[in-house]
Amino acid sequence: MAKTVKKERREFIQYSTLGVLGLVLAGGVVGSPYLYSEELHLRPPGAVEEKEFLGLCIKCGQCLQVCPYHSIKLADIAKGHGIGTPYIDASVRGCYACEAVPCVLACPSGALDHGTEKSTDIKMGVAVLEFPNRCLAMTNKTVPKGNSKKMHNFLDAQVNLTELEKDVVKKLESFEGKECTLCADMCPMPNPLSAIAMVPDAKGGKKPEIYDGCVGCGVCEEVCPVSQSAIVVKPRLSYEDYYEKGIRS
Ligand code: SF4
Ligand code: SF4
Ligand code: SF4
């Protein structure tokens, strides 16, 4: 885990130094639209409202260090704004919604609100079946062999999978060659059926349906076995925002 933090920080410093140097040379640091990009990151559990988060986060990497799933990364210059702040790239690794939410406990600055005490308190975003035409369940295809390697490929050779990650790999392997229900069956919430379930679709097959217990952890996006996930997480939106009020960003 410590090696991962060092690597993340090393890469962050390298990217930041090169990136900032480039922008200075271009005379564009202050007020650059690139730095203040509006793209919303998926933040770790407990993250306060984005503007406040950017002011409070001291970029110490404590949350990243305690995460047993290697879910958290530090943003580099390529991410636009909030350089050095923690984020989660759900297409690579979602947050496994640990019951005691250790990332929040580790945060010394208030950027991750300690009021988030358990997994069901998490409010990161909401899952959406954005690309139903890619969904294996809806197109009657099975989970491809070798799919579980995705979790291995994420980490470089110097870092070993944690025991918890090995358990995830084992579970993923058990789905290979079978009909796809990965997004629903891998949802880490204590009561996953409150967040997502496979339901009949109009063609007599199955499709995932999202419910208000979804916290936007991003695991469904990570484990979706197509090359670009059919199901994605919308950061900072709630179930009510997206599905009831029709808010899209
Ligand atoms: S809840 Fe657990 S898996 Fe999710 S970011 Fe925090 S430490 Fe990592
Ligand atoms: S459906 Fe489950 S796995 Fe997907 S984002 Fe929501 S809580 Fe996470
Ligand atoms: S993980 Fe869910 S959204 Fe992705 S292909 Fe399987 S059933 Fe469809």
Ordered by start, the domain boundaries in the chain are 2-121, 125-244
pLDDT in tens, 102-147: 999 999 999 999 999 999 999 999 999 999 999 999 999 999 998 8
Residues with CB under 6 A from ligand 3: 135-137, 180-183, 208, 224, 226, 230-231
C-alpha distance from residue 82 to each of 22, 187, 190, 208, 227 (Å) = 17, 29, 32, 33, 28
pLDDT in tens, 192-236: 999 999 999 988 889 999 999 999 999 999 999 998 999 999 999
Nearest CA to ligand 2 atom 8: 217
> How many angstroms separate the CA atoms of 243 and 222, rounded?
22
Nearest CA to ligand 1 atom 7: 67
Q: What is the pLDDT of residue 152?
A: 64
Q: What is the pLDDT of residue 197?
A: 98
Please, which residues have CB within 8 angstroms of residue 47's CB and are 6 or more apart in sequence?
Answer: 53, 111, 112, 113, 124
Q: How far is the CA of 224 from the centre of ligand 3 (A)?
A: 5
Atom number of ligand 1 nearest to Cα 72: 5
